[in-house]
Structure 1
């Protein structure tokens, strides 16, 4: 018997805002450290800078007005000759912000949670990087024996050509899982969207887009990835400049711009959400040998597909999903939901009877 093929013709998107979202934006000159701490750790300090080693310069993070974005942004400043790692070491230097143990719970990732991190940054056109490491972003675990290794790092590295590397370390072993030429980022404001499901059976995705024309510079996605270092209490983000000073001849004083930091916990998909977002038209399927074809949907509008039964239980579809077709044969009779997701958020739901 031939398989029946059903097509989805339209998609409507819904914006989802949760109470768990934390945002940090520059708001004008002065009080920069205080503004950062007020968001990422009220009454505590999450700003890691070498001010005490280079006190004559003053603060190494400030706020300036950016003509391109037409708003104030954060400026992270690193001096090769004077700055070190928070006045402790001089083989590296660190100008970073973070969340940590005393930060609000919704700035920390717990096992089983899905968290979206977003931010904007701009590297100078003549940005120079170390052959060892120049970290711009990290996800670090706290409490694990492996916590000395960030589970995720975005690292700029000198090479032929210079590149931005996505580094991954679920244990002590660290590897580069993807890279891109650094020249594609230099001199441009870019926006990063990173989504992590914190679990040994977790997932990870990242996308970097040029703000001026919305073009995609870098992307990576893995729905079956160990994203929890065993023994961790929580995971936390860091942003800034953290670079090796072992080859100072490769470096120069730098100013990297950041803004629009966002940490957003994404709630689990519930049967209530599926019901609310389901297309009004119920697709009826008359036999158990059927394929749902959604090739008419724009691939850029979603990045994953999930199948749920009438109780909201997810059905594994790894072997059923092939490109734009979902094999729904040999399932039990009942009501089902096909959810289309973008960055782990449900944007469209089709329901059907089998």
Structure 2
């Protein structure tokens, strides 16, 4: 009786197995050559400043051609030392002006900490204490807890004459925060001049400030101010208000703030503030012809500052409880509008 189940030669079976293994190896090799490995390691950046034009060409964002970008994002660290190190890795050593860093000031507690929430994730919390905090170690009519870029920062985060920059961040402040009729600044664009000359306005007054003020007649007010600096005789000029609006428009929720400025005598400035919850724009400032330059030499620049810088001249208007102001995801870009 004949059978159709013929047993194959053992050598043929071995060759089949080898063929299958060879085929699998060729497929894996082809995928690796194409960079398709899902677990492929990406080396970390040693400098948190990127140059889009060095790779895929300049990037365009709503008509703005990005030439460089720097970002500062919280990691959620519980270590103040790591938080301060992170900030200085982007803005430069010495870029933090917190009371705990100055002898004779409120050194017992860290004034910039990190927390995490479900809306923005890790973020920075700036603290202010009415009765303990001074101004960089000096007891005066004001107190300061800020971060800034300055002459030791990378040039990518400084604005030189003729340059256009964008600044973006997320911001949270409580409606319960106490304000005075003087000033409480949360963001500034400030000039740094190599000379004390008043020829072009000096660098004493901030060019732009975002502030909260307590008005006797209308309650708390959000303000954006512009200054042209000192007069030639050294007298101080009055601020021009680009915005006065209800403080409650931005409180008790995260908002996104976007700024674009061209630093020139005939410069430009815009600021938009939108609520994250519903993406409604509550502040929209556009000044296409505005004096945004105070410099007198090629070494001069404009730099951003964030935090809490406030007057304590009206101490009775400020509550004794710790004040907390939150910031997240700072981005600084240079480019062409």
Quote the residue 2:112 is aligned against.
61
Aligned positions, number = 252
Gaps of 5+ in 1: 1-12, 268-343, 345-354
Q: Does 1:188 align with 2:253?
A: yes
Q: Does 1:26 align with 2:26?
A: no
Larger mean CA deviation between 99-108 and 80-89 belongs to: 80-89
Q: Does 1:254 align with 2:312?
A: no
- Indicate conservation of the 8 Å contact 2:268/2:290, yes or no: yes
Give the distance between the partners of 1:64 and 1:39, measured in 2 at CA: 19
Quote the residue 2:309 is aligned against.
242
Q: CA deviation at 1:14?
A: 5.7
Larger mean CA deviation between 114-123 and 60-69 belongs to: 60-69
Kindly report structure 1 stretches of 4+ aligned residues shifted beyond 6 Å. Answer: none
Quote the residue 2:54 is aligned against.
none
Quote the residue 1:310 is aligned against.
none
Quote the residue 2:204 is aligned against.
148
Q: What CA deviation, in whole Å up to 9, does each residue of 1:282-315 have, x standing for no partner? A: xxxxxxxxxxxxxxxxxxxxxxxxxxxxxxxxxx
TM-score, reference length from structure 1: 0.68
Q: CA deviation at 1:67?
A: 2.5
Q: Does 1:263 align with 2:263?
A: no
Quote the residue 1:317 is aligned against.
none
Give the distance between the partners of 1:14 and 1:77, measured in 2 at CA: 37
Q: CA deviation at 1:124?
A: 1.3
RMSD of aligned Cα (Å): 1.6
Quote the residue 2:89 is aligned against.
38
Query: Higher Cα Rg: structure 1 or 2?
Result: 2
Quote the residue 1:214 is aligned against.
279
Choose between structure 1 and 2: higher helix proportion: 2
Quote the residue 2:55 is aligned against.
none
Quote the residue 1:123 is aligned against.
173
- Indicate conservation of the 8 Å contact 1:20/1:106, yes or no: yes
Q: CA deviation at 1:182?
A: 0.4
Q: What CA deviation, in whole Å up to 9, does each residue of 1:148-186 have, x standing for no partner? A: 100111111111221111111122222222211101111
Quote the residue 2:31 is aligned against.
none
Quote the residue 1:47 is aligned against.
96
Quote the residue 2:228 is aligned against.
170
TM-score, reference length from structure 2: 0.72
Give the distance between the partners of 2:264 and 2:156, measured in 1 at CA: 17
- Indicate conservation of the 8 Å contact 1:127/1:186, yes or no: no
Give the distance between the partners of 2:222 and 2:72, measured in 1 at CA: 24
- Indicate conservation of the 8 Å contact 1:192/1:206, yes or no: yes
Secondary structure, aligned partner of 2:84: helix
Q: CA deviation at 1:86?
A: 1.3
Give the distance between the partners of 1:255 and 1:73, measured in 2 at CA: 12
Gaps of 5+ in 2: 1-58, 231-236
Give the distance between the partners of 2:140 and 2:127, measured in 1 at CA: 16
Give the distance between the partners of 1:54 and 1:162, measured in 2 at CA: 28
Q: What CA deviation, in whole Å up to 9, does each residue of 1:182-201 have, x standing for no partner? A: 01111010111110011111
Q: CA deviation at 1:128?
A: 1.4
